[in-house]
Structure 1
Amino acid sequence: MEERDPKFSRVGRKKKRSNQLLNILIGAVVILILITGYTIISGGNDDKADKDTASDDNIDLVVDEEQDEDDSEKGTEEQEEPDDISEERASSDGASEENDSERNRNEEQSTDEPGTVTITEGDDGIVKETVIETAWEPIGTEQTGEHVSLYDGESVDWNEKKKAISYATNVPESNLIFWKIKNGGGPQKSIGIVSTKDQSEKYRVYLEWVDGEGWKPVQMDILNTLDFDY
């Protein structure tokens, strides 16, 4: 039986223990490295999650602030709109009232403006219609000095009366029969009764004298008949 060297046996056992201890240390280092790596990775994910959460919170905050601003602006617009509508309505009402006032003034003035014609139905069998036209003007005159109304059938004043009657009726003197020209109730007033030569149209014209300007028609009756006392 072979005997082993006791020295060799001790050296072998020491070497075996050293290998075991080294393996334990290596295993511990590996475990430590794994733990450290996991911690780093886990911590990074948590930081990223925290950052994402913070980013989401910031986004929500910005959205909320924008929403608050929109609501604030909307509220301001809603408050301003009724005022704007009221102002527009007041302006429109004011313009309407102004237009109505202007229209009323124009209607009042139209009764006095040249060219206005007033026609009134006659109230008896003699007068068919009475016409008053504000556009009538004095016909002019050749007379000078103090005016004297004449009914002599030949004077300048008499002929100017005929001219004024023709002007009012819009019928030429050559187509008129002058049935009568008489005093109209005053020294400067006259009345002429005339008809067309075929007597289809019959008139009674009221004249007034305007100093320096001549005879002016002021009223004309369109007659139904000449059968009355004139």
Structure 2
Amino acid sequence: MANTQRRYTSRSNRPNKPSTNTILNALIGLVVVLIIITAGFIFLGNDEPEKAGDEDSTKDTESAETADGSQEEAEEEVDPEDQIGSEEIAEETEDSESTEDETASEEETTTEEESTTEDSTTGGTVTSTPSDDPLVSERIVNTAWKPIGTSQTGEHTSVYSEGHVDWDEKLKAIAYTTGLSADNMIVWRISNGGSPQKSIGVVSSKDKEEKYRVYLEWVDGEGWKPVKMETLKTLDGAY
């Protein structure tokens, strides 16, 4: 009887061990909790970049709309009258530049065509201009040319007869203009220059190397005055 009681006491005093089912259930619960936590991290982590991306996209869209709006407002603020005024100013500027270019070209052409020198003997200005006339090499004007004087009195009448005083004075004016002496000058023709007080003389040196056409005008009380001389290329057709 005493042994039986000891055995019972010994068994009843042993600690209770957890059952296998309890352990398994605890492990399963822990795994489930871990799975839930992991899934939460995954879903929450993916959702935040998407929100950030949506926010950036929204900001970009708003910036683009703001820029477009500002551009449209700027375009709307431009006054059509201001645009027309700007176009007119641009056209005027172009016209002014074109006019300046044309003026510069004309000045360059004039400089190339004309040459002006000072006559040291007479103190006048000699202007020489090339000619497009196939008979004429150049045209010369000298501001120092003066009337050659006259012995004629009263009302002047232009005469084209050799030996007459008016004829002789014409020859004197032509020699003065061309520099040809009387003994080295051939007179090819002296004719009316378009009015009673104008004459034209065509002369050359005796060797015909120098050929001239001289334009004269009568000055009352002072005689015939040369106004222009042309250096000729040929005598054919010159008179």
Partner in structure 2 of residue 147 of structure 1: 156
Letter in 2 for 1:133: N
Q: Is residue 213 of structure 1 aligned with residue 222 of structure 2? A: yes
Secondary structure of the residue aligned to 1:144 is coil
Aligned match of 1:129 in 104, 122, 138?
Answer: 138
Distance 2:221 2:133 in 1: 37
Partners of 2:134 and 2:238 in 1: how far apart? 13
Distance in 1 (alpha carbons) for counterparts of 2:192 and 2:143? 23
What stretches of structure 1 of length at least 5 have no aligned partner?
A: 1-109
Q: Distance in 1 between matches of 2:222 and 2:133?
A: 34
Q: List gaps (5 residues or longer) in structure 2.
A: 1-115
Distance in 2, matches of 1:195 and 1:128, equals 14
Q: Which amino acid aligns with 2:225?
A: K
Q: Name the CA distance, whole Å, in 2 between partners of 1:168 and 1:148.
A: 22
Which residue pairs with 2:189 in the alignment? 180
Identical residues among aligned pairs (%): 62
AA at the equivalent of 1:223:
L
Which of 126, 129, 133 aligns to 1:117? It is: 126
2:207 aligned with 1:198, yes or no?
A: yes
Query: How many residue pairs get matched?
Result: 120
Amino acid at match of 1:180: R
TM-score by length of 2: 0.49
- What does residue 170 of structure 2 align with? 161
Does the residue aligned with 1:128 lie in a helix, a strand or coil?
strand
CA distance in 2, matches of 1:155, 1:168: 20
How far is 1:198 from its partner? 0.3
- Residue correspondence of structure 1 range 11-26 to structure 2 within 5 A: none
Residue-by-residue CA offset, 1:113-169 (whole Å, 9 max, x unaligned): 951111000112100010000000000000000000000111000000000000000
Question: Which secondary structure state, in structure 2, belongs to the residue aligned with residue 219 of structure 1?
Answer: strand
Return the alpha-carbon distance in structure 2 between the equivalents of residues 132 and 227 of structure 1: 23
Deviation at 1:181, TM superposition (A): 0.2
